[in-house]
Structures are given as C-alpha cells and as structure tokens.
Amino acid sequence: MENPDLAIYADVQAPVTGPVDIIRQNLQLLTQILGSQQQMLDQQQEWHQHSLASFKMPKMTKEDDPEAYIEAFEWHALVAGLNKRYWARQLGALVVCKAQAAYRALSREDALDYESVKEAILYQPRALPEPIPS
C-alpha cells in the first residue's frame, strides 16, 4: 500500500517530466529544422557562386545604346539564372563612360537597387541644347 503522503508528490512529479519531455522534443525538432535550413543555405550559396561565375557578358561600349544594352543585360541575367538582387552590381561593373558616371554618382543604397541603377543609366542628364535668344 502506498504512503498517502508520497502520492501527493507523485502527482506533482508527473507534470514536471511532461514539460521537460515536450521541451526535449521541441529542441530535437528545432535542431532538425536548423539542420535542414543550413543545408538549404549551403545549396543556395553554392548556386550563387555558380551563377555569378557563369554570368559572362561583354562590357558596354561607347557606341552601345544604353536602353538596348540594358535590355540585353536583363535577358542574359534571366537566362543565366542570376538572382535579381545581384543585377545592380553586375550592371554597374559592365557599364562605361557616361553610364558608369551615372552609376558612380548614386548613393550606396541606390547603387544596390537595380531599378535605381537602371533609371540612373537610362535617364542620365544629357547636355540640353542652348536656348534660342529671343
């Protein structure tokens, strides 16, 4: 026969091991999740290195039309599978002359944003004709 005083403690101990078991299970699940996320990150980094290494495009020349060059750049970047967050840096490294000056005039934040880089190159200030005296 059980001691009635110990029966009270047996009831108290059961919930203590319950939460501990739940915490242990949660910790195991979190460890598994972190392991799979690390594997995915490793795969993404490997893919990123491959995509940057395989992205080959000739530099823009003085004679190139900026709009046509950017259109070709975008097509090539899509075909090569280059992640869009790297487009701004890649384009900035390929442009020359006035387009490069427009790129370099951007703030650091804008230089990392592809749409800002594209806009700066396409809509760079051009020399306006002198007004005709009246």
- Residue 64 is assigned to a structural domain of this protein: yes
Tokens 């078991």 -> residue: 21
Claim to verify: residue 65 and residue 25 sit in the same structural domain? no
Domain residues for 115?
A: 55-122
pLDDT tens, 78-119? 888 888 888 999 999 999 999 999 999 999 999 999 999 999
User: Could you say which of 48, 70, 86 is where a domain stops?
Assistant: 48
Cα 9 from chain centroid? Answer: 55
**Total domains in the fold of the chain:** 2
pTM of the model: 0.55
- Residue 127 is assigned to a structural domain of this protein: no
Non-local (6+) Cβ contacts of 97 within 8 A are 62
pLDDT tens, 41-66? 877 777 666 555 567 889 999 999 99
* Size of the chain, expressed as the number of residues it contains: 134
> Residue 80: its pLDDT value, please?
84
**Residue type for position 106:** L
